[in-house]
Amino acid sequence: MKVAGAKILVTGATGGLGQALARALHERGAELILTGRRLELLGPLAEELGARMVVADLALRPDVSRLADEAGDADILVANAALPATGRLLDLKPAQIDTMLEVDLRAPIALTRSLAPAMVARRRGHIVLISSLSGKVAATSSSMYTAAKFGLRGFAHSVRADLRGTGVGVSVIMPGFIRDAGMFADAGVKLPPGVGTSSPQQVTAAVITAIERNRGEVTVAPLGMRLGASLGAVAPGVAAVAQRFMGGDRVARGLTERQIAKRPDARDPSV
């Protein structure tokens, strides 16, 4: 389906990648519904793009339900919101694990379930789930993030099969490391030599392509990372050794250290 003229709900619109997605979709003629937790960022962006806004915390199930009700007329869902969810499993508190999975996995599933019936009734719609190459290959210190992204990829492909023939498409986007915007860029961790990155514009282009061409899966990463992810999918043990050899443990430690401030506190489930 065409982006121009469609009502599109973008979650995580206050993050760097979410803002890039919102602006790119607006430029293509979409009518936007933007959601995020931080009103001080969401308000100016919504005003800039002439968008509806819904302030919501996707860690809270009542907020997810309210968002689904307020955005029930959306033609397209772009489920972009996510927490970093880094750290070794034994260093995470149970409440932190719950919050990570609520935002990174349950919320996009719940929004898909809530918005899809109206799309099916109109025989027109599309669902885009932003996963990650972490949804194909695991890495140290990212068990919760990896679990969520593996789950999101599997969910996307299964729901795509469920909705086949209804006029509603489902796509999963698999970015690698993204420069200039997003969680990796915010962390400022240096990658090993030869490990490339992708731009936010490449991700937004992949989302638009997925919608307009009804692509089931689109990977956004340099060739080397694509090959590494393919290896990880068929030979995870070999891929784990290769990651350690290339400095993957150092990158994982750096991400955990830089992102720990964004980790949901066990005493406060908001994110």
Q: Which residues are catalytic?
A: 145
Residue 67 CA: distances (Å) to CA of 26, 33, 45: 20, 10, 18
Residue 249 CA: distances (Å) to CA of 141, 146, 178, 196, 255: 8, 15, 19, 17, 10
Structure tokens at 64: 């997810």
DSSP 8-state assignment for residue 103? I
Largest CA distance in the chain: 52
Question: Cα separation of 35 and 47, whole Å?
Answer: 13
Give the closest residue to 118 by CA, choosing from 47, 70, 59.
70
Question: Cα separation of 104 and 146, whole Å?
Answer: 10
